[in-house]
Amino acid sequence: MNEGAGQLVDRVRVHYPGTLVDGSVFDSSKDREPLEFQLGKQLVIPGFENAVIGMMPGEKKTQRIPAAEAYGQRREDMLLEVEREQLPDEISPEVGMQLQMTTTDGRQVPVKMTEVSESKIRLDANHPLAGKDLVFDLELVSKS
């Protein structure tokens, strides 16, 4: 299918397990439909999309994706501290609890509580896979 100024854009379906370098699985398409997305639309992490480009249906390969081409490096500026009283009353804060914050421009950002005291709560807005190299065993199921 052609889109834009003659740029070819493919729709692909990919089966994969995603692992950390130590072999622990963080995601997999096993037992569900393959991941389907359109190339060139930045719908998946850059390293995953780049690995799929040029593959033919039925082809399999293992691709190690450095953190910079995945979820980026962990950033200190993504560590936040808020007053405990800013939380809604119905929330009992605990370390490890996940919340959604709304940014000033209206985007929803997932955050994880990393420290809870009587007066303050430390939050981490880094993606859980930030700073980690990822390994995908890719199988291109179809391309259209």
pLDDT the model gives residue 9: 58
User: Is the predicted pLDDT of residue 42 greater than 50, yes or no?
Assistant: yes
CB 53 within 8 Å of CB 69: no
The CATH fold of domain 7-72+130-143: Chitinase A; domain 3 (3.10.50)
User: Is the predicted pLDDT of residue 3 greater than 50, yes or no?
Assistant: no
User: Is the predicted pLDDT of residue 6 greater than 60, yes or no?
Assistant: no
Task: Give dist(CA 70, CA 136) in Å, integer.
Answer: 11
The string of pLDDT tens digits covering residues 43-97 is 999 999 999 999 999 999 999 999 999 999 999 999 999 999 998 889 999 999 9
Higher pLDDT, 36 or 3: 36
Higher pLDDT, 17 or 6: 17
pLDDT the model gives residue 5: 46
- Which of the four CATH numbers 3.40.50.620, 2.40.10.330, 4.10.80.400, 2.30.40.10 does domain 76-124 have? 2.40.10.330
Residues contacting residue 99 through CB under 8 Å, at least 6 positions apart: 91, 110, 111, 112, 113, 123
